[in-house]
Structure 1
Amino acid sequence: MFKLEERKDEYQKICDLLRHHSYKLTPQRQTILKAFLEHEDQHLSAEDTFMMVKHNYPDIGLATVYRTLDLLAELGILQKNDFGDGRSRYEFNRQDEHHHHHLICVQCGEVSEFDEDLLESLEAQIEKRNGYHVIDHDLKFYGYCEKCKSALD
């Protein structure tokens, strides 16, 4: 269950940001936002999110979930990712954290993160050699997770 006490400040900041941009804080948006706070370590698709929230808010529609996720991504609250499986996945956009990258299992579809960022020195070289100012990068590795790799052996 969502422990608002533990995440109250973060939840309130997001609610304030929505209001600041003249968006209503509807019960559907609150429910979706709470689902992401409860599962912040996951990369949720609209369908995943819908399945999580429909039992708490049975009248919510999949289209509402899609619109809300796109809105939260547009406002920079969520980051929208494409892991090549035909579904967009969302996660909190942690601008104050070190950039992380993704490991994607081609067999089971599991997505995990790793924080080692060896690209910072490459970005500096690119800027120095080419005069190109890099503002972001995205790195994904595709392969087999430990479980699927073991099953192949």
Structure 2
Amino acid sequence: MTVNLKDVKQIFREKQYKLTTQRQLILQTFFDHPGQHLSAEDVFDIVRRDSTEIGLATVYRTLELLSELDFLQKIDFGDGRNRYEINTSNEAHHHHHLICLTCGKVRECDDDLLEALEGSIARKNNFEIVDHHVKFFGYCQECREKREE
């Protein structure tokens, strides 16, 4: 599902949710920061610049709702904070992530070399696989260069 404001408004109406100004601001944050993996605190800091009337609890609730409605992808990178990114994929499989253990920078990796393995696992186990998530942990080029200095 590729997210756009028209679809958001329609689905909110269908589900009988209100698309409040605060919810729109939170969603707009992801449109304004494409490709970034934002935590609730990141979103809160960004939104507070334009709206001092918003609370962190509202951001958390809204992120959960947008994730449940499939407008955002919720990702756990193992650092104790959920991250979110706008759902831009029409495909069942999502990109993979490269996570630096030093600076925490996250890069996306579009290579999906698991198709054959996934098919084999599905056949052997008589199991329909609908998705998978892969995270690679290591050190980015900048952090490796700093360590070598």
Counterpart in the other structure of 1:146:
141
Deviating above 3 A after TM superposition, structure 1's stretches of 4 or more consecutive aligned residues are none
Counterpart in the other structure of 2:66:
72
Q: Shift in Å at residue 116 of structure 1?
A: 0.3
Structure 2 residue corresponding to 1:54, chosen from 36, 48, 53: 48
Unaligned runs of 5+ in 2: none
Structure 2 residue corresponding to 1:39, chosen from 33, 48, 64: 33
Structure 2 residue corresponding to 1:19, chosen from 7, 13, 18: 13
Q: Shift in Å at residue 95 of structure 1?
A: 3.6
TM-score, length-normalised on structure 2?
0.93
Comparing 10-19 with 74-83, greater Cα deviation is found at 10-19
Q: Shift in Å at residue 58 of structure 1?
A: 0.7
Q: Shift in Å at residue 99 of structure 1?
A: 2.3
Q: Shift in Å at residue 127 of structure 1?
A: 1.6
Fraction of identical pairs, as percent: 54
Structure 1 residue corresponding to 2:125, chosen from 122, 130, 149: 130
- Aligned counterparts of 2:85 and 2:4: Cα–Cα separation in 1: 14
Structure 2 residue corresponding to 1:104, chosen from 68, 77, 99: 99
The secondary structure found in structure 1 opposite 2:51 is coil
Paired positions, count:
145
TM-score, length-normalised on structure 1?
0.90
CA deviations 1:73-108 (Å, max 9, x no partner) are 011111111101111000122341452000000000
Unaligned runs of 5+ in 1: 1-8
